[in-house]
Amino acid sequence: MAGIPFSVCVYCGSRDGADPAYAKAAEDVGTMLAAKGWRLVYGAGDVGLMGRVARAAQAGGGNTFGVIPQHLMDWEVGKTDLTTFIVTETMHERKKVMLMNANAVVVLPGGAGSLDELFEALTWRQLGLHSKPVFLLNTNGYWNALLALMDQIIDQGFADAALLDYMTVVDNVEELETVLKPNTAGA
């Protein structure tokens, strides 16, 4: 990705969620990415946390790269004023384009779609398809139950403990900013 700025794929909810801290974290991530001169890669929606992270990145003068499947253009309100706006045919294609155009992944609170994206990124890393770092932003303990489930999966023999090595858990955007660096990125 020569000539392209360090790019961070952000997976997050298409809703704001119940805790206002989630919206604040999304805005803070977008602001931080823009301030660092890093490109936001995300699902191109203008709703929920997705819209918040993108609008904050844009407000800070950031480079934005959005990918949305045609069937979600209305539902997720495709944000067409991004630096780069790509419409795909399928969700599978969307996820591949997002991950392949990023150097690192950050997962904010979200629902089933965010879980799907997280586990695909972890699975692909486990299979050696990429070596990009994955960061889980555990705002107000949102992901605690998921982390307990992952421990259970390992305890019950369905994954090696190394699975947890593919993901770094951070509690806030300030902590994320200290560990997310261009030199931590993989292929």
Taking only the tens place, the pLDDT of each residue in 116-169 is 999 999 999 999 999 999 999 999 999 999 999 999 999 999 999 999 999 999
* Residue 62 tokens, joined: 């950031």
- Is 3 a member of any domain? no
- Is 2 a member of any domain? no
CB 27 within 8 A of CB 53: yes
- Is 184 a member of any domain? no
- Is 186 a member of any domain? no
Higher pLDDT, 146 or 73: 146
CB 136 within 8 A of CB 170: yes
Strand partners, 7: 39
CB 60 within 8 A of CB 34: yes
Domain span at residue 164? 8-179
* Residue 63 tokens, joined: 């480079």
Tally of domains in the chain: 1
Global confidence as pTM: 0.94
d(CA 139, CA 98): 23
CATH code assigned at 32: 3.40.50.450
pLDDT at position 78 is 87
Taking only the tens place, the pLDDT of each residue in 12-57 is 999 999 999 999 999 999 999 999 999 999 999 999 999 999 999 9
Please state, as a whole number, how many other Cβ atoms lie within 10 Å of the Cβ of residue 18: 9
CB 4 within 8 A of CB 39: yes
> Residue 157: left (phi > 0), alpha (psi -120 to 50), or beta?
left
- Is 66 a member of any domain? yes
- Is 124 a member of any domain? yes
pLDDT at position 58 is 98
Nearest to 57 by CA among 96, 97, 5: 5
DSSP state of 78: B
pLDDT at position 3 is 77
